[in-house]
Amino acid sequence: MRGHKFYWHKGSAPDIEATAKERSSPDKSHEKQLSRIVPLKASVKFNFKVHFENLRQEELGVLLWALTLPGEPGIEYCHHLGMGKPLGMGAVKICPTLHLSDRIQRYSGLFQGDNWLDANQQSDPKLYLSAFEHFLLEEQRVDRGKEHLYQVDRIRELLTLHEWQAQTDPDWLEWTRYMEIERGTEKVNEYKQRPVLPTPRKVKALASGKASQDISGGSTPSLQSAQSGKTTLTSPAGIQRGTVRKYDAQRGFGFIRPDDRSADIFVHRSQLRDVGALSEGQKVEYKVGQGMKGPEARDVRLIK
């Protein structure tokens, strides 16, 4: 999912009007730079058709899964379509029906009443969704032991971004907004230290005040508090400390000796957050991630 643009739902009444506070200059005074839109009202329905031929059961299941987003029971999922997705526009609930064509019957006649004979019959999509999940979980061994695809960690992250919330509170909007180059009256640059963004499930936990629960992946980003107006960095679980044992500034890598006396851990300059290079003997804090050749230090910061 890293490297792709995904957007959070902003509720049934997202704020899409240009204002003066979103940029350094008043937006509405630059009329030619704005896009005037006429958004559709909530509950407007539309129809469309998708035609495919010669699909195996699991292949048809892929298409149905993408349309239906079959996630955890009791949670509603919506897609993002069209323009304005970063602002919360384009939230659409797709409710597909499956129609299968009997090829032999189709070519055995020409007319069906006043219409052409298409030999279509509505079918239950569950058979094909199950075939797709079985193909991934059992045959491809994506995550054996899981009964449903939505139980796989990567899929849970994806579905979290599609969870629909009709009403959104200020904390949710704060945690799911874009970071800014100039934020607030102090014009704080939230990109300055280029924080590693948390996973969608972690964002959801933080926004709902359940950050203590065990959710893997990503460090907490530098987000400006809506109450204080200042940028703060929280210290997520999993932070470790150690001492730089060796570092080659020219080659850009070295090793850290953990304070818990465990094995030395590899560190690369791409994971340094507040310094361009390390020196032997410096105290640092870091998280541990899995690299190509084993454990490596991530999000490394000097302890001042």
How far from each other are the two terminal CA atoms of the chain, in whole angstroms? 34
**Mean pLDDT of the region 280-303:** 86
Across the chain, what does the average pLDDT equal? 81
Long-range CB contact pairs, 44-50, < 8 A, 24+: none
Q: What structural domains and CATH numbers belong to the chain?
A: 27-162 (no CATH), 169-236 (no CATH), 240-302 (2.40.50.140)
Q: Say if residue 141's pLDDT is above 80.
A: yes
Query: What is the C-alpha separation between 300 and 194, in angstroms, rounded?
Result: 12
pLDDT category at 229 given cuts 50, 70, 90 is very low
Contacts of 141 (CB under 8 A, 6+ apart): none
Q: Say if residue 151's pLDDT is above 50.
A: yes
Q: What is residue 232's predicted lDDT score, i.e. its pLDDT?
A: 36
**Mean pLDDT of the region 17-36:** 66
Q: Which of 51-60, 107-116, 134-143, 199-208 has the highest mean pLDDT?
A: 51-60
Give the number of residues written for the chain: 304
